[in-house]
Copies of this chain bind each other. A is one copy, B any other.
Amino acid sequence: MPNKLIKSRTAMNATCAACPSRHLCLPSKFMDKSQIATLDRIIQKMMIVHKNDHLYYSHETTKTIYAVYKGSCKEYWIDGNGNECVTNFYFPGDLVGLESVSDNKHMLSVVGLEYSELCVIPLDDLCKLMQESEAILKRFINITGYKMRNDRSVKMGVTAEERICDFLLNIIYRMLERNISLDNIPLFMSQLDISNYLGISHETVNRMFKNLQRLQVLKIENKKMTVIDLAALEKLGRLDYSLDKDQKKQSFIAS
């Protein structure tokens, strides 16, 4: 049975101030404690989804967005031929549901890849808050801009190898932002999910993974990835994250 569940954040002892991913989410380094407390005031509920439970389905109406507090989710839609098109993966600190705000109706579905907790952010309350606090408004704008960059960057590659490498680099850098070690990065999505995300057959995804292991670039074992040669991976991909990744990341995280 579906296990979608709403709890109060206070009951779960979850606050923005104590959130390990706050540096990627609505709080920013420039906010003082009272500003962050205003976020806690409007974000009162937490949505719990277990693995394979849906956070929401396409076509549902909505006036909220979500922030991943713990876990990870897959965003997708079903095309006219019944194929699942994966549009995004979300990790702690990511805002979920931004695409739906323009007409208060989801056009994508979101499902948990593992046990996950998501902060429920009422859009109207957030708007009011952004009008009161310049810091929160600017932060929100920065987050949406950063998301546009990030979303765009992944599927630029032409060959399957480029696309796989860019995808993995994207995951890796998002893990770095979250201070997660590059040893044994957990990949909660299946290879089929990745293939539906990249528009590549799942057999090719598998073969590319094998190939990258044969090249001693990384190791994937038991759905956990260990990066061996990041520079080699960057060379195989199409994006130059290496250019000024630290600056880029820091400037956003600090903003």
Contact = CB atoms under 8 A, between A and B. Distances in A.
Interface string A97-119: 01111111101000000000000
B148 A151 contact: yes
A145 B80 contact: no
A130 interface: yes
How often does this chain occur in the complex, in copies?
A: 2
A85 B138 contact: no
A105 B248 CA distance: 9
A105 B199 contact: no
A170 interface: no
A102 B150 CA distance: 11
Q: How would you classify the secondary structure of chain A's contact residues: helix, strand, loop or mixed? A: helix
A251 B146 CA distance: 26
Interface in A67-93: 79-81, 85, 87
B87 A252 contact: no
A177 to B, nearest CB: 13
B98 A145 contact: yes
Interface string A167-210: 00000000000000000000000000000000100000000000
Given A157-B199, A199-B156, A199-B158, A148 B98 contact: yes
The 6 closest A-B pairs by CB, nearest first: A103-B251, A101-B145, A102-B145, A102-B146, A102-B142, A99-B148
